[in-house]
Amino acid sequence: MILEIMLVLLMISTGLFIHELGHAVATVMQNKKATAEIYLGSSSKEKKLKIILGRITCYLTLALYGFCIQPNWREVPLSAVRPRTIFLLGGPLLSLVGAALFYAAAIFSSGVPESIFVNLAGICFFLFASPLLPFTYPRFLGGGRSDGLQLLNLIKENRKQRNAVL
């Protein structure tokens, strides 16, 4: 039973990593100076697996939530509407790609691997759809704003700025 729990946590963490990697890739592809950091779980760097993928640094552990930050945001701001929108949509889009790839892998598998791939596809699809809904996560899942809520706030702020100019 403990092995099954660890496997479920590992699959959730894998789905979260894929989602956050989408945000990180969107960040570094928009600007040659931008860097990104992915955290699974808390923002602590202690007792986590550290992986460096070019300008993306990952701090990984088994977790139920994750987030991506741009540590050099003062040098390379992501405050404009277009870059911020691309950043916010990067996570859900890579989650959707991950869901499709894991589902395809399940089609060509059987037995336990097929079951693992189907579950990973489901997790990735959930991490595509649910973050697009505008809500605040409960405290035990980090307590942050969903990608959808951040997008909605970005759209509202952009409208206010446009109306103020007119």
Rounded Cα gap, residues 61 and 49, in angstroms: 6
Q: How far apart are CA 91 and CA 22, in angstroms?
A: 4
Candidates 2, 44, 53; CA nearest to 10 is: 2
This prediction has a pTM of: 0.93
Burial environment of residue 4 by CB neighbours within 10 A (0 to 12, 13 to 18, 19 or more): exposed
Q: Determine the length of the chain.
A: 166
Q: What is the pLDDT of residue 31?
A: 85
**What parts of the chain have a pLDDT lower than 70?**
74, 76-79, 166
**pLDDT score at 78:** 59
CB within 8 A of 81, min separation 6: which ones?
154, 158
pLDDT of residue 28: 94
CB crowding 62-81: b at 16 or more within 10 Å, else e: ebebbbbbbeeeeebebeee
Residue range 77-121, pLDDT digits in tens: 656 788 889 999 999 999 999 999 999 999 999 999 999 999 999
- Phi, psi dihedral angles at 114 (to 5 degrees): -60, -45
End-to-end Cα spacing for the chain:
62
Looking up tokens 């007792």 gives: 47
Spell out the domain ranges in the chain.
2-165
